[in-house]
Structure 1
Amino acid sequence: MSAHPAADPAADPALAAFLSAYDDALARWPVPTEALDVRTPHGTTRVNACGPRDGRPVVLLHGGGATSACWSANVAALARAGHRVLAVDLIGDPGRSVPSGTPLDVPTADLVGHSYGGWTALRYALHAPARVGRLVLLDPTQCFAGFRPGYLLRVLPLFVPPRTAAKARSYLDWESGGTALDPTWRELYALGYAGFPAARPVTGPRPTRQRLQALTAPVLVLFAERSRTHDAAALADRTRRLLPSATVAVLPETSHHTLPAARPDELNRHLTTFLAPDPDHGPG
């Protein structure tokens, strides 16, 4: 099973090491997981699914380079709350994809996006509002403000060859600033950066204030207190002004990359409460 149409793990030790680490990380998930290979107009991607098959779908979109394995501390709580959890490996990013697959019939779902996955989730909610029930953005980037200049200077070397695992580990250790970083995921990220064929990310401008006012889905935005990508407190205030109806909070003792796993009980409480079905209006 190839992780990239132009790459052969058998002939590429770095890619093989990444795929082995990926499988090990998924094996540590605390709930039974089903691997789905989904065909889309842009290629076939891996979706790691768990939770009851008839549960309300919630789609998890990871940050750049993070893979769907980054949600290991959150999937069990969502599954126990009755959700059908669909954790996606974004096409073009490190992860698993295959030459063939079947469409995934999910007409409406809640979206949870972290970092770049937050930008993706927000853009989709604006593009197809009828298909998004609720929207959760976790320390999103390029949604309500740009990056800190200092962050951009520190991250720039990641885009300059050579791509080594040591360079990725150094970046993660700097960004996390001593907050709890899952060592298994840290190594997976580093091996993916070094061993997975690089692809240009799909990106674009931040949504305008007018576009944001067109959002119809209920929105929860959680920022990481120690994120180096932006000033969390200032950006939370700006987000409240841009989205007055949104629920906005800053999670203490978390950084941009540690947010999904550093304080899982607190984050999962936010997620399951916000995504819980409305008793007066059913699951919609």
Structure 2
Amino acid sequence: MSNHSPIFPQLSDNGIHYFQTYDESLGLWPVPYKAYYVSTRFGQTHVIASGPENAPPLVLLHGALFSSTMWYPNIADWSSKYRTYAIDIIGDKNKSIPADLCGTRTGYADWLLDVFDYLGVEKPHMIGLSLGGLHTMNFILRAPERVKSATLLSPAETFLPFHHDFYKYALSLTEPNGVERFLKWMMIDRNVLHPLFVKQFHAGVMWQDGARQQTPKADGFPYVFTDEELKSVKVPILLLLGEHEVIYDPHSALQRASLLVPGIEAEIIKNAGHVLSLEQSETINERVLSFLE
């Protein structure tokens, strides 16, 4: 295992604490890994790589505020057959270090192209959850020739706007007990998050850093893709949604996706909500591997 770090800019005490909680969560990673930084025109991007170096590449994009450490229940199965690259999305709360925040949908696609080129990854499979699912759909629409397949897990917006409750709970995260209320709303009694991961999530919420808190833009995220954009998809897609999803109605999202995206495989996962890769990891791990193969 390794963790090669560039020279960090000045971090606040909250930032230092967050990096410590990130490393504690990374202790849950069940397989050997290499953690390192990739240089892009938008800053330094943190990557956690696992699996055989000569295996087919698989890129993982995490949910907002969750970071790449969220893949700890999935990585053993997926890295047994693939060279996995868990990428910390630049501009979100994680170990990546933004220099020139892309902010736009085109900019984010360019950022991922930089990462792929640096890693020497020509045409990987991609998996994205929530914010990562939105990034994945954005990327395959802009660079379909660089992606073999895409798996979208509970993608943020993408097919439907957020339910108004999302903003109510998200905007109150920094209030007393805001994190607890948010997680209870999102997971109800299905909370299977490890205490170390909850600690990291809380530290990320409390880390106020302008470089990692973006103002929404008309040409940025969140975003619901148009009918024309969805009809133009050229990459095989698997869409998995939890039956207890709260950020939008999962059945309506599945219906719109199935109607518009050519050849999509779309399913509702029982006994799961928004973070289905954590809530039903065994089911998700198997379903994803079946799709990839």
Q: Which residue of 2 aligns with 1:87?
A: 86
Match of 2:120 among 90, 105, 116: 105
- The correspondence of residues 29-48 of structure 1 with structure 2, limited to 5 A, is 29-48=29-48
**Cα deviation 1:142-193 (Å, max 9, x = unaligned):** 21111112333332324xxxx3684223211221111133132222111111
Alignment of 1:71 with 2:88, yes or no, is no
Report how far residue 125 of structure 1 moved.
0.2
Distance 1:95 1:4 in 2: 16
Greater CA drift, 180-189 or 86-95? 180-189
Task: Name the CA distance, whole Å, in 2 between partners of 1:272 and 1:196.
Answer: 37
**Does 1:54 pair with 2:54?**
yes
The 1:204/1:261 distance shift into structure 2, 3 A limit, reads closer
- CA RMSD in angstroms, aligned pairs only: 2.4
| Equivalent in the alignment of 1:142 | 157
**1:131 corresponds to 2:146:** yes
Query: 2:214 corresponds to which residue?
Result: 200
Residues 1:165 and 1:264: Cα distance change in structure 2 (over 3 Å): farther
Distance 1:51 1:110 in 2: 14
Q: Conserved in 2, the CA contact under 8 Å of 1:61 and 1:114?
A: yes
Q: Could you report, residue by residue, the CA deviation over 1:126-148 in whole angstroms, capped at 9, with x for unpaired residues? A: 00000010010000122111111
Whether the aligned pair in 1 keeps the contact of 2:158 and 2:224 (CA below 8 Å) is yes
Q: Which moved more, 1:23-32 or 1:181-190?
A: 181-190
Matched, 1:169 2:180: yes
Check the 8 A contact 1:94/1:196 in 2, yes or no.
no
For 1:227, give the aligned amino acid: E
CA displacement, residues 230-276 of structure 1 (integer Å, 9 cap, x when unaligned):
111222122211225111011111121x3121111100011111112
Alpha-carbon distance, 1:95 to partner = 1.4
Q: Quick one: distance in 2 between partners of 1:133 and 1:144?
A: 21
2:71 & 2:84 partners in 1: Cα distance? 10
Instruction: Tell me how far 1:15 sits from its aligned partner.
Output: 2.0
- Offset at residue 211 of structure 1 (A): 1.4
Residue in structure 2 matched with residue 281 of structure 1 by the alignment: none
Structure 2 CA distance for aligned equivalents of residues 5 and 117 of structure 1: 25
1:273 aligns with 2:290: yes
Tell me the equivalent position of 1:7.
10
Residue 229 (structure 1) aligns with: 247
Q: How many residues get paired?
A: 267
Name 2:104's counterpart in structure 1.
Answer: none
Alignment equivalent of 1:118, drawn from 91, 110, 133? 133
The alignment partner of 2:119 has SS state of: coil
Residue 120 to residue 4, structure 1, CA distance change in 2 (3 Å): farther
CA shift, 1:4, in A, is: 9.6
Change (3 A) 1:153 1:119: same
Structure 1 residue ranges without an equivalent (≥5): 277-284
Task: Give, in whole Å, the separation in 1 of the partners of 2:171 and 2:34.
Answer: 36
Deviation beyond 4 Å, 4+ runs, structure 1: 1-6, 98-102
For residues 193 and 155 of structure 1, what CA distance do their matches in structure 2 show? Answer: 10
DSSP 3-state at the match of 2:198: helix
2:241 partner amino acid: F
Contact 1:4 1:96 in 2 (8 A): no
Letter in 1 for 2:179: A
Counterpart-to-counterpart distance in 1, 2:6 and 2:157: 28
Q: Structure 2: 5+ residue runs without aligned partners?
A: 100-114
Give a deviation string over 1:70-107, Cα, whole Å, max 9, x none: 00011111111x10000011111111136999922112
Tell me, in whole angstroms, the C-alpha distance in 2 between the residues paired with 1:275 and 1:77.
12
| Matched residue type, 2:226 | T
Q: Which residues in structure 2 correspond to 1:254-265 (within 5 Å)?
A: 254-256=272-274, 258-265=275-282
Instruction: Give the drift of 1:209.
Output: 1.2
- TM-score (normalizing by structure 1): 0.87
CA deviation after TM superposition for structure 1 residue 60, in Å: 0.5
Change (3 A) 1:196 1:4: farther
